[in-house]
Copies of this chain bind each other. A is one copy, B any other.
Amino acid sequence: MNNKYINKKVILSSYPVGLAKKNDFSVVTEEIDTLNDNEILVKTKYIGIDAALRLLLRDSDDFLFRVKKDDLIRGSIVGEVIESKNPKFSDGEYVLGSLGVQKYCVSNGEGIEKCDLNLANPELWLSGMGLPGLTAYFSLLDVCKPSPDKNVLIIGAAGAVGSIAGQIAKLAGSKVIGTTSSDEKCKWLIEELGYDHAINYKNKDWFEELSAVSDKRLDIIFDNTGGQVMDESLKIIGMKGIVLLCGSTSQYSENEIKGPNNYIWLGTMRARLQGFVIFDYEDRYEEARLNLSKWLNEKKIKMPTHLVEGDVDKFPEIFEDLYKGKNYGKFVLKLND
């Protein structure tokens, strides 16, 4: 198979300062080697664009799993097995894995899951059926426990995780409020996803609006962004409330991450700021996916997936757009070849 496949991959060319720019990335090509025993060749079909990646693109050993200069950019993909020397995988099967922003990948199959296309279309395995959906599912149902008497705030409500989380909280009967970055996205949250209220945090009086619609009590703050929106919201955390720390996108581009100055209200209100990592639930992914797929097919939830078509070299542009808040749900690059 020598020379048959030419891989094209996105690498880090310089550590970004502030928001990651196009020229912080480069595209390189390489020949794919012949497969060894037990290996498979995967052709990427869809690439998920993850906000958390920005945290890893820094010249600091503070974080594990860093992407260093000249490293392949990390990313989850859905692809097709086009050659297999591994008995567990067959040609034509669709798989999901953290295989990086590239066109082809040779793998021994470790950490790769199969996509059951009877449950959902392939691109949805990067949104509602993938880590965003699984994160929303377990962090809400297992940790936050929404119920009809609860007020739930989703910060970053139109994002990959937030857009699913709000719908699951609605299914549980809670009053669901979301914050996002534009009036258009507010409209979308309410009309498409069924949020009770949606607030554009760029409006001067967003916090007054939030206080009013929640009657100054938030039982669950589901936070994807950190920063000022989360910090202000802490002032109205309810008694024994929970602030689920799902992500901190507002801080990933900062040189110095800022903590929530209003944390002292957690004390007064016997509330907690709770860390969460989806990988703790790996042995229950199947259960979640069956439920998520069922809800999808019964039209109880949507799995918002913001598809953009192009080649792998479109990645830097979409990553920039993600940080500009242009996505409605999960940003996914669909490879057009």
Q: What residues make up the interface of A, taking CB atoms closer than 8 Å to B?
A: 64, 226, 231, 245-248, 251, 256-277, 280
Contact = CB atoms under 8 A, between A and B. Distances in A.
Nearest to A262: B259
A256 B267 contact: no
Contacts of A64: 268
Closest 3 CB pairs of A and B: A259-B259, A266-B275, A273-B273
A264 B248 contact: yes
Nearest to A226: B264
Given A272-B272, A273-B273, A261 B267 contact: no
Contacts of A263: 226, 245, 259-260, 263, 273
B262 A260 contact: no
Given A266-B273, A267-B277, A231 B259 contact: yes
B273 A277 contact: no
A8 to B, nearest CB: 32
A127 B271 CA distance: 26
Copies of this protein chain in the complex = 2
B268 A277 contact: yes
Contacts of A258: 259, 261
Contacts of A264: 226, 245, 248, 251, 257
Nearest to A260: B259
Q: Which of A262, A266, A269 has the most CB of B within 10 A?
A: A266
B274 A272 contact: yes
Nearest to A235: B62
Contacts of A268: 64, 275, 277
A336 to B, nearest CB: 35
Given A245-B266, A258-B261, A264-B251, A272 B271 contact: no
A220 B291 CA distance: 36
A131 B231 CA distance: 30
Contact of A271 (B270, B275, B280): B275
A63 to B, nearest CB: 8
Nearest to A248: B264
Given A256-B261, A266-B275, 18 more contacts: A64-B268, A248-B264, A248-B267, A259-B259, A259-B261, A259-B262, A260-B263, A263-B263, A265-B275, A267-B275, A268-B275, A268-B277, A270-B275, A270-B276, A270-B280, A272-B274, A272-B275, A273-B273
